Structure 1
Amino acid sequence: MDGVMLSRIQFAANISFHILFPAITIALGWILLFLKLRFNATRDEAWMDAYKFWVKVFALSFAMGVVSGVTMSFQFGTNWPGYMERVGNIAGPLLAYEVITAFFLEATFLAVMLFGYGRVPDRLHTLATFLVALGTTMSAFWILVLNSWMQTPAGFEIRDGVAHATDWAAIILNPSMPYRVTHMLLASGLTASFLVAGLSAFRWLRGDDSPGVLRAMRVGVFVAATLIPLQILAGDMHGLNTLHHQPQKVAAMEGIWETERGAGLRLFAWPDDAGRRNRFEVEIPRLGSLILTHSWDGEIRGLNEFEGQHPPVLPVFLAFRVMVGVGVLMLLVSWWAALSFWRRGRVSRPAAWALAAMTFSGWVATLAGWYTTEIGRQPWLVTGILRTGEAAGPVPAGTVATSLAAYLAVYAFLLLAYLGTLLHLARRPALTGPDAPGEPKRPGLPAAATLVPGE
């Protein structure tokens, strides 16, 4: 492989590792705020015990996200200098907004959220939790604004081959931004809720039926059961927007080679780029047009209309089906567990095993969706402005391969360490109120204000 392909693989590996952790922290911050508010309202220590466990997971995930994000930014200069040379006048300020309005907010109040309980006024601790949650969301917003602009550029002009901003409102509110931000925030909500529900189910199956564990599991299940229908709706609207602005991406997602009216839905196929056809195709007639255009006879432009201007079909086609398939499993498992809670007051063991198996399903769906989006943009780095090959730097292939191998080794080690730490935390006994080891006594609470038995 040449240096450009190796650089693409390296950046893909970096962002694939990085996105795992913001996908958790964006929504987990708001779940922590909910747990804290419930404790403030009820003074039930079970809510605080759940908060103490999950704030550790948040801190660990936040640290991993920061470390991997820093190395990713270096690659703009080392591997992709043409990117900042061509569109840096727009990308640079958007990345700066993310640091100024979001990262500083998170970094400032994270320590108060982690270590301030019992040491600062309760209202200040709750405020710190809110501001950290807000910071993670604002960080995601600015990054997704930039990514959306790269997909559907607006509010700029080209002078001497360089993009210059002419309308920052149009840049920020570019055509795909509302759909992309909504889709990603909901994806984070599902990732975090399945992590909370799944890891809590694992703890419960090991015999830890403390109220804090059960409360966290219930919150995770009902958040997931609520968000998955909203994600399906948001995905449908995002698909309509993509069909309008990036029809070649949709054609690759659906494996449609010739322009069709009443196009079928390819449940499975093996797209053959060389032969420009699908092998082993399983199709439901006309359903593709109904889903994509909301009309049985809607027209879908085929890939042959975009020859040389469309992405590689096989990875986009398969990644999209992995995302949808995992989404369907999320719907079934979350509703099964929610129904179990509603009928019995607690989850059934089979549903708990299903939740535990789905603990990291959000990661799978997020990565598959991200690959669909990013590979589906090819051959463009910024649609209509900058091709991927034009942005790559003159780094020898051997140098890129060496650094790629080092990245992969480090990421594998860090991921195993992260998962091992989560497993270690899950196996430890649950905290049991204000007298737990290492926890300061909370002023104003009598000794009797401990866990309420049962759930």
Structure 2
Amino acid sequence: MQPAHDIALLLARFQFAFTVGVHIIFPAFSIGLAAYLAVLEGCWLKTGRSVFLDLYRYWIKVFSIVFGMGVVSGLVMSYEFGTNWSVFSQKAGPITGVLLSYEVMTAFFLEAGFLGIMLFGMNKVGRKLHFAATCCVSVGTLISMTWILSSNSWMQTPRGYMIDPATGRFMPADWLAIIFNPSFPFRLVHMGLAAFLSVAFIVGATGAWHMLKARREGKTATAPVRTMFSMAMWMAAIVAPLQIMAGDAHGLNTLKYQPAKIAAMEGDWDSTARAPELLFGIPNMKTEHTDYAVKVPLLGSLILTHSLEGKVPGLKDFPRDQRPPSQVIFFSFRIMVALGVLMMLVGFWSLWLRRTRTLFTNAVFHRVAVCMAPAGFLALLCGWVTTEVGRQPWTVYGLLRTSQSVSPIMLPSMAVTMTAFVVVYVIVFGSGIGILVRQLGHAPQEGEQETSSANASDILAERMHPEVIESTSGKGA
């Protein structure tokens, strides 16, 4: 019976990881793109240059698709808390449930209230009011990120709670300590920069693709294409180094409050000073050794403690049943760091090309920029894997185990729902991403059409089969 329960638990964890992995891409896209839209509209109002308005109208169509998929994918997780993780919800709900409710009452209402004006009100309200609506939607996405990260960060570094002796529930004792828990500021900055950087590389890749396409056709890229590519590369050059600095600060915070996670990330088994940095290896949880290790002397202590003499924790410092699975987060962390460094190098390369006045003519760089399109989102996903898997075996770090948080679910039902989730997600979100790619395949034009309810109907009609359109028209007649 126990093996069946363990498999059901594993499937429940995988199902939640799968749904979160799909969902997190869209809110991050929305956060970065909403801010970009606010900048574009602000630049248009400030300068009067139509190129910024053209880009705004182009990217707001993308935003509407991404925002819709984000809302749909997020609703599923709310139900999973009740169906698969009811024990966690019952015990931690007085804290995490309240924080997520604040997200709905503040951020979601703010976004929903102004989204219609943002999408369809350009010619129906004044310019300043429309800009205010765009800013409100952008601020709403940031507020949403703040509450969600506060809730998740409390699970990583719980503070401000007391445990009800009768029920074992976590009860709030100090809301300021709960919201501003030790890891929250670092994770908020790290996630915000990740969203901006991810969108910068999507925008940059879109501009690079259309410049390459124009070159193949013997044409010159339009002004909107060149402008959005230039803006994206500025963002990459500025934000990528900031992200690495934020990641370093986050690492120091994690070393202080979650040393087991750091030991697993680094593949270190023995606590030691003057520790080397493992560039590569395969952690072996059974033999308590990292096989095939490639080390750089002293670098581990320097990176983790900012001192050559600093002491780095090892996994042997912790009981076997409290160690996170090092194999997973060892590689996810290194992929994230490698992508971050690569994005920074691309940003610096763009500065050099800008100085030599070849930013819009260097075809090699444009091909690299196209290949880097998913880099930000891949790094973000690897970061979340590192964070969440590194928290194991706990849902509330050090207090509530994952095995104690799951609902009393049966293996057959868990297997069926997991299969259904994968199939439905592939169909629904695969179609959505296909529509998104098709929209990005059209270059922004000078005099880009405004988004309107009529345009939205036309776009939907284009996606429908001709027979469906014909039958619908017949019924309307």
Greater shift in the superposed pair: 197-206 or 309-318? 197-206
Partner of 2:242: 230
Instruction: From 350, 359, 382, give the equivalent of 1:368.
Output: 382
Distance 2:288 2:449 in 1: 67
Greater shift in the superposed pair: 366-375 or 39-48? 39-48
Instruction: From 200, 203, 225, give the equivalent of 1:213.
Output: 225
Residue aligned with 1:120, SS = coil
Contact 2:69 2:429 in 1 (8 A): no
Partner of 1:324: 337
Cα distance, 1:191 vs. partner? 0.7
Distance 2:287 2:352 in 1: 48
Greater shift in the superposed pair: 107-116 or 330-339? 330-339
Contact 2:202 2:373 in 1 (8 A): yes
Partner of 1:177: 184
Distance 1:104 1:95 in 2: 13
Contact 1:263 1:289 in 2 (8 A): yes
Partner of 2:474: none
Cα distance, 1:345 vs. partner? 6.0
Distance 1:318 1:437 in 2: 43
Residue aligned with 2:287, SS = coil
Q: Could you give the per-residue CA deviations for residues 162-221 of structure 1, whole angstroms, max 9, x where no partner exists?
A: 111010000011010100101000111111111111112112211171111111111111
**Equivalent position amino acid for 2:27 in 1:** P
**Equivalent position amino acid for 2:355 in 1:** W
Partner of 2:373: 359
Partner of 2:202: 195
Distance 1:411 1:378 in 2: 26
Distance 1:374 1:259 in 2: 23
Distance 1:169 1:305 in 2: 32
**Equivalent position amino acid for 1:197 in 2:** G
Partner of 2:317: 305
Residue aligned with 1:344, SS = coil
**Equivalent position amino acid for 1:287 in 2:** L
Contact 1:202 1:426 in 2 (8 A): no
Cα distance, 1:435 vs. partner? 7.2
Distance 1:431 1:94 in 2: 43
Residue aligned with 1:267, SS = strand
Partner of 1:451: none
Residue aligned with 1:220, SS = helix
Distance 1:168 1:273, change over 3 A: same
Instruction: From 285, 294, 299, give the equivalent of 1:287.
Output: 299
Cα distance, 1:433 vs. partner? 1.6
Distance 1:438 1:146, change over 3 A: closer
Distance 2:435 2:210 in 1: 14
Partner of 2:3: none
Contact 2:58 2:448 in 1 (8 A): no
Partner of 2:356: 343
Cα distance, 1:327 vs. partner? 0.6
Q: Does 1:422 align with 2:436?
A: yes
Distance 2:49 2:453 in 1: 16
Partner of 2:172: 165
Distance 2:172 2:113 in 1: 31
Distance 1:254 1:108, change over 3 A: same
Partner of 1:444: none
Partner of 1:443: none
Distance 2:272 2:204 in 1: 43
Distance 1:437 1:422, change over 3 A: closer
Greater shift in the superposed pair: 345-354 or 305-314? 345-354
Distance 2:322 2:31 in 1: 34
Contact 1:203 1:426 in 2 (8 A): no
Q: Does 1:399 align with 2:399?
A: no
Distance 1:145 1:3, change over 3 A: same
Partner of 1:65: 70
Distance 1:165 1:119, change over 3 A: same
Distance 1:182 1:164 in 2: 27
Distance 2:358 2:110 in 1: 39
Q: Could you give the per-residue CA deviations for residues 317-366 of structure 1, whole angstroms, max 9, x where no partner exists?
A: 01000100111110111221232133216332111111111111111000
Partner of 2:131: 126
Greater shift in the superposed pair: 140-149 or 429-438? 429-438
Q: Could you give the per-residue CA deviations for residues 74-113 of structure 1, whole angstroms, max 9, x where no partner exists?
A: 0010000011111111011100100011011111111111
Report the TM-score when normalising by structure 2. Answer: 0.90
Residue aligned with 1:392, SS = coil
Paired positions, count: 440
Instruction: From 274, 282, 286, give the equivalent of 1:274.
Output: 286
Greater shift in the superposed pair: 70-79 or 48-57? 48-57
Greater shift in the superposed pair: 418-427 or 19-28? 418-427
Cα distance, 1:229 vs. partner? 0.8
Report the TM-score when normalising by structure 1. Answer: 0.94
Cα distance, 1:154 vs. partner? 0.3
Instruction: From 303, 325, 328, give the equivalent of 1:315.
Output: 328
Instruction: From 28, 31, 45, give the equivalent of 2:36.
Output: 31
Q: Could you give the per-residue CA deviations for residues 368-417 of structure 1, whole angstroms, max 9, x where no partner exists?
A: 00000000000000012211010101111111111111111222223432
Distance 1:229 1:333, change over 3 A: same
Distance 1:130 1:281, change over 3 A: same
Distance 1:427 1:253 in 2: 39
Contact 1:48 1:212 in 2 (8 A): no
Q: Could you give the per-residue CA deviations for residues 282-337 of structure 1, whole angstroms, max 9, x where no partner exists?
A: 00011000000011011111101112211011001010001001111101112212
Q: Could you give the per-residue CA deviations for residues 203-249 of structure 1, whole angstroms, max 9, x where no partner exists?
A: 22111711111111111111111001111111111000000000000
Distance 1:115 1:437, change over 3 A: closer
Partner of 1:453: none
**Equivalent position amino acid for 2:184 in 1:** M
Distance 1:435 1:323, change over 3 A: closer
Distance 1:277 1:68 in 2: 40
Distance 1:436 1:165 in 2: 48
Q: Does 1:93 align with 2:105?
A: no
Instruction: From 138, 152, 161, give the equivalent of 2:157.
Output: 152
